[in-house]
A and B are shown apart, each in its own frame.
Chain A
C-alpha cells in the first residue's frame, strides 16, 4: 500500500472477474471443440450410457485444473484422450469388483437420455453384446481392444494412450480378442 495514500488507484487487481471469465470461456471453447470426441471415446471404452456423463464431466474438470500444463493447443485433444483412458480404467476396475457383476445380477443398463436419432436396434444390440463379452476381460486389455477395434486407432496410438509399450499393447489386444471371439461364438 502506498505510504502517501495519494495514488488515484489503490486496487491491486482489477476486480472485473476477468480471470474467471477467461477460464470459463476457455473451458467452454474446449468443451465445444472436443466434447463429442470425449463422449464417444468414453462410451466406446465403458460400454454404458450411465457412466459416460460423469466421466466426461470428470475429464473436463481435470482439464480446468491442469490445463496450464498443456503447452500447445494442438496437444489438448491428446491430453483429453489420455485422461479419458486413465479415468475409464479406474471405473472399469471398480466395476469388476462389484459383487453384482460377479453374480450376474447387474441390472439392465438404464437409459438416461434419448438415444441418438437414426440408431438401429441391431447396431445397439451388436454394441451391447461386444461389451458384455468385454466385461470378462481385464480393464487394461479391454481398453486396448476398444481403442483398436471400436475407435480404430493405430497400434502405436493405442500404446501411447494406454501408456505402455507396443509389445504390451499387442499382448493385451490379443488376450481380449480371444475372449471376445469365444464369448460371441454361437
Chain B
C-alpha cells in the first residue's frame, strides 16, 4: 500500500473514537470508585487472615509453652499492619476508619461531656478509647449509637443503620426503642417493621456525668450525601434508586453546586440505563440551564440532549439543538457527532 492510500485510511481511522460510555467522565468516576472500594475490601480480608493466622500461631506457641511449663509471659495479639485505608486518629486516641468510598462523616457537636458525629452515608469503624466521663455518639439518621470504650462498626443505608460490636458494648437508640449490643453482637436499626421518627439520645445508666440529651433536629440528607448515595447505587446497578436520589437532590437543593451535575447524571441514567430518552432530554436541558454555556458540562449536556431527542424521535428539536451546539461550540469536542445526530450536513 502506498503512502497516499495509507493516508486516506488514516484519515478515516482518526475519526473513530471510543464508544460513548468509555469517555463519559461520570462513568469513569464511578468505575474508579468501585475499584478503590474493591481494593479496600481485599486489603481488609487479607489483613483479617493475617491477624487470624497470627492469633492461631500465638495460640499454638502459648499451648506449647504451657505444655513445657512456660514462664507465664503474657502475649498480646499484634495489631494488623497499618495500610493506606483512610482513617482519623482523634486526640484522645480513638480511631475512625473510613470503609467505603461513599462514606461521609461530619462532626455534629463537641463538649467536655460528649463528642457527637453524624454518619451521613457509607460505613465506618470506630475504635473508641475508654472514657467514662465523656460519651461518644454516632448518629445515623434517626438511629444513635452511644459508646464508652469500645470498637464497633456502623453502616448507614438510607434510613437503616447496621451496627456490629467487636469490643465492649454500645447502646443503640431509635424512636421505637433501645438495645444494648455487646461484643460479638450486631443488628440493623430500626428493626424491620419499625418506622423511623425523630430520634432521642439516651445516656448509659452507668455514666452519671453525661449531659442530658437534646431533642434531635429533623434530619434531611445533605446534597453531598444524596450524591454519594446515588453514586453508590449506580455503581451497584440500582439505577432506579440512583435516579430517585438525584431527583431528590434536584428538588431539595436546586441551587447546590452539584445540581447541574445531578441533572446531567439523571439524564444519562434515563437515556443509557432506563430507556427514557424524552425525560433524559429534559434532564440535560435542566443541567444546561443551571450552569453557564461556557462550562464543559453545559457543552456535554447539549450534545447529549441532541442524542436524547433523536432517540425520542423528535428530529426537529434534535436538529435545532444541534444547530445551537454548532453556534456555541464551533470547535466542540463532539461537533462531528452532534452534526450527524442532529441531521446537519457534514462539515466541508
**B92 with A53: CB separation less than 8 A:** no
**What residue of chain A has the Cβ atom nearest to residue B19's Cβ?**
A113
Q: How far does the alpha carbon of A127 sit from the alpha carbon of B13 in the complex, in Å?
A: 4
B307 within 8 A of A: yes
B20, A17: Cβ atoms closer than 8 Å: no
Q: Which residues of chain B in 98-116 are interfacial with respect to chain A, using CB atoms and an 8 Å cutoff?
A: 98, 101, 103-107, 110-112, 115
Q: Contact: B25 with A12, CB < 8 Å?
A: no
Set of chain B residues within 8 Å of A21, measured between Cβ atoms: 104, 224
Contact with A along B59-97 (1 / 0, CB 8 A): 000000000000000000000000000101111110010
Stretch at the interface among B29-37, B41-49, B168-176, B187-195: B29-37
What residue of chain B has the Cβ atom nearest to residue A58's Cβ?
Answer: B35
Q: Cβ of A150 and Cβ of B13 under 8 Å apart?
A: yes
Q: Mark A39-74, 1 if CB is under 8 A from B, else 0.
A: 110110000010011001100110010000000000
C-alpha spacing A9/B90, complex, angstroms: 11
Specify the chain B residue showing the minimal Cβ separation from A180.
Answer: B6
- Surface stretch bound by A, among B246-254, B279-287, B333-341: B333-341
Contact B20 A113 (CB under 8 A): yes
Name the distance in Å between A81's Cβ and chain B's nearest Cβ.
15
Q: How far is the CA of A132 from the CA of B106 in the complex (A)?
A: 54
A28 adjacent to B29 (CB under 8 Å): yes
Contact of B90 among A15, A118, A119, A120 (CB under 8 A): A15
Q: Judging by beta carbons under 8 Å apart, are A12 and B90 in contact? A: yes
User: Residues of A contacting B19 with CB < 8 Å?
Assistant: 49, 111-116
**CB–CB B17/A116 < 8 A:** yes
Asked whether A185 is an interface residue with its Cβ less than 8 Å from the other chain, the reply is yes
For the complex, give the distance between the alpha carbons of A16 and B12 in Å: 51
Q: Is B1 an interface residue (CB 8 A)?
A: yes
| Residue-wise interface mask of B (311-348) relative to A, using a CB-CB cutoff of 8 A (1 in contact, 0 not) | 00000000000000000000001001101110000000
Q: In the complex, are the beta carbons of A184 and B105 less than 8 A apart?
A: no
Interchain CB contact (< 8 A) of A114 among B21, B31, B296: B21
Q: Is the CB of B6 within 8 A of A181?
A: yes
**Closest approach, in angstroms, between the C-beta of B335 and any C-beta of chain A?**
10
Segment at the B interface, from A29-37, A90-98, A155-163: A29-37
Interface 0/1 of A114-153, CB less than 8 Å to B: 1111111011111101100000000000000000011010
Contact at A17–B106, with CB atoms within 8 Å? yes
Residue A166 CB within 8 A of the other chain: no
In contact, A1 and B93 (Cβ under 8 angstroms): yes
Task: Check A75 for interface membership: any CB of B closer than 8 A.
Answer: no
For B117, what are the chain A residues with a Cβ–Cβ distance below 8 Å? Answer: 15
Interface of A is mostly: helix
**B104 contact set on A, CB distance < 8 A:** 17, 21
In contact, B17 and A57 (Cβ under 8 angstroms): no
Q: Are B13 and A49 closer than 8 Å at their CB atoms?
A: no
Q: A16-B106, A31-B28 are in contact. Are A118 and B23 (CB under 8 A)?
A: no
Number of A-B contacts (CB under 8 A): 169
B220 at the interface (CB under 8 A from A): no
**A118 pairs with B339, CB closer than 8 A:** yes
- B105 & A16 in contact (Cβ 8 Å cutoff): yes
CB pair B340–A43 under 8 Å, yes or no, is no
Taking CB atoms, residues of chain A closer than 8 Å to B21 are: 53, 112-114
Interface pair A8/B91, CB less than 8 Å apart: no
Chain B residue at minimal CB-CB distance from A186: B1
Given contacts A15-B90, A61-B32, A149-B10, contact A56 B22 (CB under 8 A): yes
> What chain B residues lie within 8 Å of A117 (beta carbons)?
20, 307, 310, 337, 340-341
Q: Which residue of A lies closest to B339 (CB)?
A: A118
Interchain CB contact under 8 A, A10 and B6: no
A28: nearest chain-B partner, CB-CB: B29
The 5 closest A-B pairs by CB, nearest first: A118-B340, A126-B12, A113-B19, A12-B91, A113-B21
19 more contacts with CB within 8 A, not counting A32-B297, A125-B12, are: A8-B110, A11-B91, A12-B89, A15-B88, A15-B96, A17-B103, A17-B104, A17-B106, A31-B32, A35-B23, A39-B18, A56-B31, A57-B28, A113-B20, A113-B21, A114-B19, A114-B20, A115-B20, A116-B19
Query: Which A residues lie at the B interface, using CB under 8 A?
Result: 1, 6, 8-17, 19-21, 24, 27-28, 31-33, 35-36, 39-40, 42-43, 49, 52-53, 56-57, 60-61, 64, 111-120, 122-127, 129-130, 149-150, 152, 180-181, 184-186
In the complex, 27 of the A-B residue pairs with CB atoms within 8 angstroms, ordered by the A residue number, are A8-B112, A9-B110, A11-B107, A13-B89, A13-B90, A16-B105, A27-B32, A28-B29, A31-B32, A32-B25, A35-B24, A40-B23, A49-B22, A52-B18, A60-B28, A113-B21, A116-B18, A116-B337, A117-B310, A118-B337, A118-B340, A126-B16, A129-B9, A130-B13, A150-B10, A181-B6, A186-B1
